[in-house]
Amino acid sequence: MRLKYLLVLSISIFALSSVGCKDDVVKPKDKPDPVPSFTIPTYADDYSSISSWANRNKWNLANVHDPSVAYYKGYYYMYGTDASYGNAAEGHGHFQGKRSTDLVNWQWVGGPFYEAPSWVADSLNAIRSRMGLGAIAKDNIIYGYWAPVVRRVNVGGQEILRMYYSIVIDNYIKTGKANTSANFDGSWTERAFIGMCESTDPAGAVWTDKGFVTCSSSDRGKNYSRSSLSNWDAYFYYNAIDPTYIVTPEGKHYLIHGSWHSGFALLQVDATTGKPLNTLGEPYANSASELTARYGVRIGTRTVSSRWQGSEAPEIIYKDGYYYLFMAYDGLDIPYNTRVVRSVNIEGPYLDITGRNFTNGSGDCYPIVTHPYKFNLSNGWVGISHCCIFQKENTNEWFYLSQGRLPANVGGNAYSNAIMMGHVRRIVWCPASPSEPDNLWPIALPERYAAVPDYGTITKDSLVGTWEHINLKYSYGIQDGASTLTLNTDGTMSGALTGNWSYDATKKQLTLGDVVVCVEREVDWEATPRCVTFVYAGIAKNQNATYWGKKTK
């Protein structure tokens, strides 16, 4: 478990009726019952001092990248890309895990395997042989281990964890040489593979590998040529990385995957075996229609004409009649941000909050679920995407989990952008506008989850005061900053927003002019010491923006 200096706070409802960690508002007249104590996390955002492999049991949410979570036998199990600050995890297995009972404190657990499964090289060279290419010696294959998805499924009456994982081959197609500029041979790099494994003992890191599921596929036959390293008109139509997995209400099982090339593929798999329901055939064809008939329907693309677009990492859930498809936009180091679209059918069309058609590639989609941001008195966070979305067991609470990176040169550390802290955030379901109270969309809260207990009604009086307001308006590679917003006792507001505000305590919905935001209690992670405050998140539908805020006094 991550090194912590625990601060246990016994907090009464009096303190939580106050704001921004201070006692500046009117308290309830009736004396409330005492509130049980709980622990506010105090672990540092900069974990570089404990980033070594020897300290892995102290990591907690350190070294998290491309996470996926499933609940199994009393624990939430998390697995992600084999990435770590200073490459501390390199050579120590792939898709290492963490587990937690409370979503706040996480223990390290082992992953499914320490070497690439033999089927990967065998499948690669079998395809190369059918393409008329020579085999790549197994010792010369460059592997990358990326972005697993894990789900609890029932197979034959037994609940198991099923994991789909990505293994990327970073060798050139033509000569099989390693992907370096010096080795460039006028071809694209080799394909990625998605495999599958299962476990009934994830705590013991006991997994049974089930082998090949699918791989990157092309609609250009065997024409894998590339004019130059600056040519991004990809050979592969589907890139077989970043899988997500869903069981529909009708009991059908689907795998969705894709990254940066032509979009996201929807592939039906057998419920029992987890393998494709239909025969895939060769991973190349002479047209997109011929290919997609076998390798999956394209359900979304950021730009229909692009073969190298900044969208990846699909994640799908089903809620209240809609399939919500989350995705990552842009480069992962700084600009990474999260969007969501939805459909009443698993195959689409997936539409954004304005009706823009993601399935047809009609352009950038909204709302923004997360974006690089910075509250005052902090460095803020960047690279916040490639999320998993999951429901807390036996509740109606939904959660967002992704990595968040520190900006460059924090604390004089030139490599601080490689610090990847796991960000668990509650999701609030927000009305698209005041006139659409039942048109709800998921937005992550601006502060990370700390398991703050429910202390009862949040009153209108308790919201009066000073807030830090952030407009998550899309700006490539730029952190959205905070400005001061004051909610006045007379129902007016000043500073970042002007006009009138109102509050529905039953729904915990705060209306700021013509935008509805959802209010919750969370921890102010930027405060010293960290403490409980009020936060909000909501959608400015007609502005293509998301509002985040926290109360400071």
pLDDT value, residue 455: 85
Q: Cα angle vertex 357, ends 274, 509, to 5°?
A: 90
Is 61 within a domain? no
Average of per-residue pLDDT across 28-35:
40
Band of the pLDDT at 42, cuts 50, 70, 90?
very high
Residues 6+ apart with CB under 8 A from 258: 238, 239, 241, 242, 264, 265, 312, 314
Residues 6+ apart with CB under 8 A from 398: 317, 319, 389, 390, 391, 392, 426, 427, 429, 442
The DSSP bridge partners found for residue 344 are none
Exposed / middle / buried, residue 34 (Cβ in 10 Å: 0-12, 13-18, 19+) = exposed
Query: Over 90: is that where the pLDDT of 35 sits?
Result: no
pTM (2 d.p.)? 0.94
Question: For residue 349, is the peptide bond before it cis, meaning its omega torsion is within 30 degrees of 0?
Answer: yes
Query: Over 90: is that where the pLDDT of 12 sits?
Result: no
Separation between Cα atoms, residue 126 and residue 129, nearest integer Å: 5
**In contact, 237 and 217? CB cutoff 8 Å:** yes
pLDDT, one tens digit per residue, over 464-483 is: 999 999 999 999 999 999 99
pLDDT value, residue 38: 83
Is 462 within a domain? yes
pLDDT, one tens digit per residue, over 255-273 is: 999 999 999 999 999 999 9
Query: Over 90: is that where the pLDDT of 10 sits?
Result: no
In single-letter form, the type of residue at position 511 comes to: T
Helix H, strand E, coil C: the string for 92-154 is CCECCEEEECCCCCCEEECCCECCCCHHHHHHHHHHHHHCCCCCCCHHHCCEEEEEEEEEEEE
> Three-class SS of residue 295?
helix
Separation between Cα atoms, residue 347 and residue 386, nearest integer Å: 21
Band of the pLDDT at 1, cuts 50, 70, 90?
very low
Give residue 23's domain range. Answer: 7-36+455-551
Separation between Cα atoms, residue 362 and residue 357, nearest integer Å: 5
Separation between Cα atoms, residue 465 and residue 493, nearest integer Å: 10
Query: Over 90: is that where the pLDDT of 21 sits?
Result: no
Average of per-residue pLDDT across 293-318:
96
Is 130 within a domain? no
Tally of domains within the chain: 1
Q: Residue with structure tokens 């099982």?
A: 253
Q: Cα angle vertex 123, ends 118, 128, to 5°?
A: 130
| CA gyration radius, the chain | 24
Is 93 within a domain? no
Is 307 within a domain? no
In single-letter form, the type of residue at position 245 comes to: Y
Token readout for 198 is 């299962």
Query: Over 60: is that where the pLDDT of 246 sits?
Result: yes
Average of per-residue pLDDT across 271-294:
97
User: What is the CATH classification number for the domain harbouring 27?
Assistant: 2.40.128.10
Of the candidate ranges 6-15, 274-283, 490-499, the one whose mean pLDDT is the lowest: 6-15
pLDDT value, residue 178: 98
Picking from 372, 77, 360, the residue whose alpha carbon sits closest to that of residue 202 is: 77
Is 438 within a domain? no
pLDDT, one tens digit per residue, over 425-438 is: 999 999 999 999 99
Token readout for 386 is 């490639």
Mean confidence (pLDDT) of the chain:
93
pLDDT value, residue 3: 31
The DSSP bridge partners found for residue 196 are 164, 211
Is 523 within a domain? yes
Exposed / middle / buried, residue 254 (Cβ in 10 Å: 0-12, 13-18, 19+) = buried
Query: Over 80: is that where the pLDDT of 153 sits?
Result: yes
Residues 6+ apart with CB under 8 A from 199: 112, 160, 161, 163, 206, 207, 208
Q: Cα angle vertex 92, ends 88, 95, to 5°?
A: 95
Query: Over 70: is that where the pLDDT of 180 sits?
Result: yes
Token readout for 148 is 């697993």
Query: Over 80: is that where the pLDDT of 17 sits?
Result: no
172 secondary structure, DSSP code: B
**CA separation, residue 9 to residues 23, 241, 473, 530, 550 (Å):** 16, 43, 36, 10, 20
pLDDT value, residue 82: 86
Strand 531-540 with 368-370, pairing: unpaired
Calculate the CA dihedral of residues 1, 372, 338, 64 and round it to 10 degrees. Answer: -20
The DSSP bridge partners found for residue 536 are 519, 549
Is 508 within a domain? yes
**In contact, 301 and 309? CB cutoff 8 Å:** yes
pLDDT, one tens digit per residue, over 195-219 is: 999 999 999 999 999 999 999 999 9
> Three-class SS of residue 15?
helix
Question: For residue 372, is the peptide bond before it cis, meaning its omega torsion is within 30 degrees of 0?
Answer: no
Average of per-residue pLDDT across 451-455:
91
Picking from 483, 516, 482, the residue whose alpha carbon sits closest to that of residue 501 is: 516
